Amino acid sequence: MAGSKRAMMISVIMQRIMNVFLLGLAAILTLFLGRETYHLALVLFMSNTESSSYLLIEGIVIYFLYFEFIALIIKYFSSGYHFPLRYFIYIGITAIIRLIIVDHESPYDTLVYALAILVLVVTLFLANSERLRRE
């Protein structure tokens, strides 16, 4: 009995340590989100060139990545210390879209990225099915 009590105490301590570090990560991501907002405002008011349009689009996608990671941390705490799988899939899709926007010179690579997005969307569909959904 004493062994299980000790294991439970270690589990609680480790959970609290992880929660503190996760809150620290959320604070850092919030700071980066604020910095990205500032950079987006600068790019928005730059001269209208094709490169500034790409910078704006890339900045918006990066903005969503920060936002999704912060939302993932919020969801972790609100769902009883559980990371829902579908949030990771959303982040993966957004990251690949950003990669396509930034690196679109090779048609083969773009096709592979698009197929990866398709696989993630199918995975998202399966993860949201009634059978696999636990929320």
Which residues are CB-contacts of 37 (< 8 A; sequence separation ≥ 6)?
63
Q: How far apart are CA 57 and CA 55, in angstroms?
A: 6
Q: How far apart are CA 94 and CA 126, in angstroms?
A: 18
Looking up tokens 């990560």, which residue turns up?
25
Which region, left, alpha or beta, applies to residue 95 given φ > 0 means left and ψ of -120 to 50 means alpha?
alpha
Summarised one tens digit per residue, pLDDT across range 24-53 is 999 999 999 999 999 888 888 876 776 777
Percent of the chain with pLDDT over 90: 40
- What ranges in the chain are assigned the alpha helix state H? 2-44, 50-78, 85-102, 107-127
What predicted TM-score, i.e. pTM, was given to this entire model? Answer: 0.76
Half-sphere exposure (CA, 13 Å, Cβ side) for 133?
9
